[in-house]
Amino acid sequence: MVRSVQERAVKTREAILRAASEVFDEFGFSGASVSKIMKRAGVTQGGMYFHFPSKEALAHAVMIEQGEGLEMPPGEDGLQRLIDITLYLAGQLQTNPALRAGVRLAIEQGEFGVQDDAPYQYWVQEFAGQLRAARDRGELLADVDVDDLAWMLVSSYSGTQLLSQISTGRADLHRRIITLWRYLLPGIAAPGIRPLLTFTYQDDPVA
């Protein structure tokens, strides 16, 4: 009995987060309402507030959990896998409302009284892990600082996806991320590694 109640609670929370992601993605924080989210989730007011006491708390949860459920591309950790991950994320930003909403809310977080860089730090750590593997495999130039590079890559990626969203609704995001790598790689990758790297969404090798 207790287990079934817990399972229902988990499913209800998941339904609320899924609906909230869709609504926040479509309308942003200001345009979203609890009633819209409740209707889409198919939950009562009591069910909603049992899990999230306010729209602000719900928005913060969507923002923080933006990376949940993503299945990163397989492969050996290192520079190639990092490239694959960034291109995979570009595809997810075109199709995955949970990720899109989380990213949008990270930008809009001032509207709900939050100043939290945790979503960005999550990706900094994810990218840094791949860069450490690349360093251990001799794929990076000797003077590359992995932590600084991870921070810079997340910053550059965030700006690239935002401008792509504003300009084309992210239709050109894969191409823009590939361009980012083309200019970045000569400054970080060992010369013998660059010709071996390929892009997930096209066959041309990285120059």
CA distances from 142 to 80, 82, 146, 205 (A): 18, 18, 10, 23
Amino acid at site 74:
P
Confidence tier at 162 by pLDDT (50, 70, 90): very high
Backbone φ and ψ for 89, nearest 5 degrees, come out as -65, -35
pLDDT at 207: 39
Q: What is the mean pLDDT of residues 111-133?
A: 94
Burial of 2 (0-12, 13-18, 19+ CB in 10 A): exposed
Tally DSSP H helices, then E strands, for the chain. Answer: 9, 0
In the numeric block, the tokens 């199709």 are attached to: 95
- Give the tens place of pLDDT for each residue, 29-51: 999 999 999 999 999 998 899 99
Which runs of consecutive H residues, i.e. helices, occur in 32-114? Answer: 34-41, 45-51, 55-64, 79-95, 97-108
Does the pTM surpass 0.75? The reply is yes
In the numeric block, the tokens 């397989």 are attached to: 74
Q: What is the mean pLDDT of residues 63-68?
A: 88
CB 37 within 8 A of CB 20: yes
